[in-house]
C-alpha cells in the first residue's frame, strides 16, 4: 500500500517504512500496551474492591480479581522481557479486551449499551502501528464477533442501535487510524533520517567520527553486543599529493569511490567503516572466527588498488591505502584510545616501509625499532 508523504512530494511504501523503523514501531506498540494494561488493571482492581461493598457486583468479584491478575501478569511479562516482545502483544491485549467486554455485555449486562467495545473499535486502529491490511482485518473480526454476539444475546430493543454504533465506530476508527498511523510513521522516518545525517559522512556515506565515538561508549557500557576482533586505521597514500596534482574536486571524487568500495566490503567481511577525518578511516572487524586477521585487511588493500584510480604522481600509478591493525583479545574490554594509538603506530610503520600494505601491531613491539617499525609487516 502506498501513501503520499505529508511533508514532501515523495511516495513511500508503507511496508518499507515499517521495516526501516521496526524497533520504534515495536517500542510504540509496547508502550501503548503497557499503558492499556495499567489502566485496565487499575479499573478491574477498583471493580473488585467495589464488588465487596455493592451487592449487585458481589457475584462478579472473582471475575474482576482474575482479570486483574491476568493483566498484571501480562504487564510484568512485557516489562521484564520487553526485548523479546513483538507487535503481537498489542493484538493479544485488544483481542482479549474485545472478547471480555463483548461476553460481559452479552451475558451479564444485556440491557446496556456496550460502551467499552465501541471505545475499543474506535481506538484500536488509532493506537496500533502495523500493516494497514492486518489492522483492518483484525478490526473487522472484532466488528463481526461483536455484532454476532449482540444479535444473539442482547435485548431486541438495543440490537439495531448497537449495530449502527459499532459500524460507525469501525468506520471512524479505521479512517482516523489510517491518518494517524501515516503521521506517526512519517515522524519516525524523519527522526531516522535526521539520525542518519548526524552519524553519516556526507561525502563517503560511511559512518562519521561521531558515530565511532558513540560506538566506543555503547561498547564500554555493554550496550553493543557484537564481538570486536580488531580495529584498524586506513590512510590513503599520498593523498595531499593527489589533491595537488588533480585538484580538490577530483580528490572528493576519489574519496567517494573509496567510500563506496569500503561500504561494499562491510557485509562481506563483517567490517564497519568510519571516516575518521580527511583521508583517514577507521575499520572495526566483528568476526570472532577468523583465523588470519591480516588477510581481511589485505583484501582492502587489494580492493582499493583494483579501483584503478589514476595517481600519476606516484610510482604505482594508482591510488592505494596503508593500514595499521590492532587485534583485540577475546573477552577483553578494550581501551579504545590506546587501540587507536597502537593502530596509528602500525599505520606509521606501513607508511615507512613502502605504503600500500597492512601492518599488524603486536604486544611484543611496544617501542619502535631502529627503523621506526612497530610490528611485523604483511605485504
What is the average pLDDT across 92-110? Answer: 86
- The Cα-based distances of 33 to 91, 123, 305, 309 in angstroms read 9, 12, 54, 55
CA–CA gap between residue 339 and residue 285 (Å, rounded):
13
- H or E stretch at 230: strand 230-236
Position 114 pLDDT exceeds 90:
no
Q: Which residues contact 103 (CB under 8 A, 6 or more apart)?
A: 149
335: DSSP letter: -
pLDDT in the model for residue 315: 92
Strand partners, 363: none
Highest-scoring range by mean pLDDT, 221-230, 268-277, 282-291: 268-277
Position 16 pLDDT exceeds 80:
yes
Position 184 pLDDT exceeds 50:
yes
pLDDT in the model for residue 272: 95
C-alpha cell at 59: 457475584
* pLDDT tens-digit map of 293-324: 899 999 999 999 999 999 999 999 999 999 99
Give the position of cell 567490517: 271
pLDDT in the model for residue 10: 40
pLDDT in the model for residue 90: 87
Give the position of cell 587485534: 327
Q: Are 243 and 255 in contact (CB under 8 A)?
A: no
Position 376 pLDDT exceeds 80:
no
Q: Are 375 and 359 in contact (CB under 8 A)?
A: yes
- The Cα-based distances of 62 to 58, 72, 153 in angstroms read 9, 15, 23
* pLDDT tens-digit map of 199-250: 999 999 999 999 999 999 888 887 777 888 999 999 999 999 999 999 999 9
pLDDT in the model for residue 363: 63
What is the average pLDDT across 72-82? Answer: 83
CA–CA gap between residue 178 and residue 136 (Å, rounded):
10
pLDDT in the model for residue 1: 42
What value, to the nearest 5°, has the Cα angle with vertex 137 and ends 132 and 143? 125
Q: Are 22 and 11 in contact (CB under 8 A)?
A: no
Of the pLDDT bands very low, low, confident and very high (cuts 50, 70, 90), residue 3 is very low
How is the chain split into domains, by residue range?
2-199, 209-378
CA–CA gap between residue 131 and residue 28 (Å, rounded):
14
- CATH for 209-378? 3.30.70.270
What is the average pLDDT across 95-110? Answer: 85
pLDDT in the model for residue 84: 63
Q: Are 17 and 5 in contact (CB under 8 A)?
A: no
What is the average pLDDT across 87-114? Answer: 85
Position 95 pLDDT exceeds 50:
yes
Position 375 pLDDT exceeds 70:
no
Amino acid at each position: 500500500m502506498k501513501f503520499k508523504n505529508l511533508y514532501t512530494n515523495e511516495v513511500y511504501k508503507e511496508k518499507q517504512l515499517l521495516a526501516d523503523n521496526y524497533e520504534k514501531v515495536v517500542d510504540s506498540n509496547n508502550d501503548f500496551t503497557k499503558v492499556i494494561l495499567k489502566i485496565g488493571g487499575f479499573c478491574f482492581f477498583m471493580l473488585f474492591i467495589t464488588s465487596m461493598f455493592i451487592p449487585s457486583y458481589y457475584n462478579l468479584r472473582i471475575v474482576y480479581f482474575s482479570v486483574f491478575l491476568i493483566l498484571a501478569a501480562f504487564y510484568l511479562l512485557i516489562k521484564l522481557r520487553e526485548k523479546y516482545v513483538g507487535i503481537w502483544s498489542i493484538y493479544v491485549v485488544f483481542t482479549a479486551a474485545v472478547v471480555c467486554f463483548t461476553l460481559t455485555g452479552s451475558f451479564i449486562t444485556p440491557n446496556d449499551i456496550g460502551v467499552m467495545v465501541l471505545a475499543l473499535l474506535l481506538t484500536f486502529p488509532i493506537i496500533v502501528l502495523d500493516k494497514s491490511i492486518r489492522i483492518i482485518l483484525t478490526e473487522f473480526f472484532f466488528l463481526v464477533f461483536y455484532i454476532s454476539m449482540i444479535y444473539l444475546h442482547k435485548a431486541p430493543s438495543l440490537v439495531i442501535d448497537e449495530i449502527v454504533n459499532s459500524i460507525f465506530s469501525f468506520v471512524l476508527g479505521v479512517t482516523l487510524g489510517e491518518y494517524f498511523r501515516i503521521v506517526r510513521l512519517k515522524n519516525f522516518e524523519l527522526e531516522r533520517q535526521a539520525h542518519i545525517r548526524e552519524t553519516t559522512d556526507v561525502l563517503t556515506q560511511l559512518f562519521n567520527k561521531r558515530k565511532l565515538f558513540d560506538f566506543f561508549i555503547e561498547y564500554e557500557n555493554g550496550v553493543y553486543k557484537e564481538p570486536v576482533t580488531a580495529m584498524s586505521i586506513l590512510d590513503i597514500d599520498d593523498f595531499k599529493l593527489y589533491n595537488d596534482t588533480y585538484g580538490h574536486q577530483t580528490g572528493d571524487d576519489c574519496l567517494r569511490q573509496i567510500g563506496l568500495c569500503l561500504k561494499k566490503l562491510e557485509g562481506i567481511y563483517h567490517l564497519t567503516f568510519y571516516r575518521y577525518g580527511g583521508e583517514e578511516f577507521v575499520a572495526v572487524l566483528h568476526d570472532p572466527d577468523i583465523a588470519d586477521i591480516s588477510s581481511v585487511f589485505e583484501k582492502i588493500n587489494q580492493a582499493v588498488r583494483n579501483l584503478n584510480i589514476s595517481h600519476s604522481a606516484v610510482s604505482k600509478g594508482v591510488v592505494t591505502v596503508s593500514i595499521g591493525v590492532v587485534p583485540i583479545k577475546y573477552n577483553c574490554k578494550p581501551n579504545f584510545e590506546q587501540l587507536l594509538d597502537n593502530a596509528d603506530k602500525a599505520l606509521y610503520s606501513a607508511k615507512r616501509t613502502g605504503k600500500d600494505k597492512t601492518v599488524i601491531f603486536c604486544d611484543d613491539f611496544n617501542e619502535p625499532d631502529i627503523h621506526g617499525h612497530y610490528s611485523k609487516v604483511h605485504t
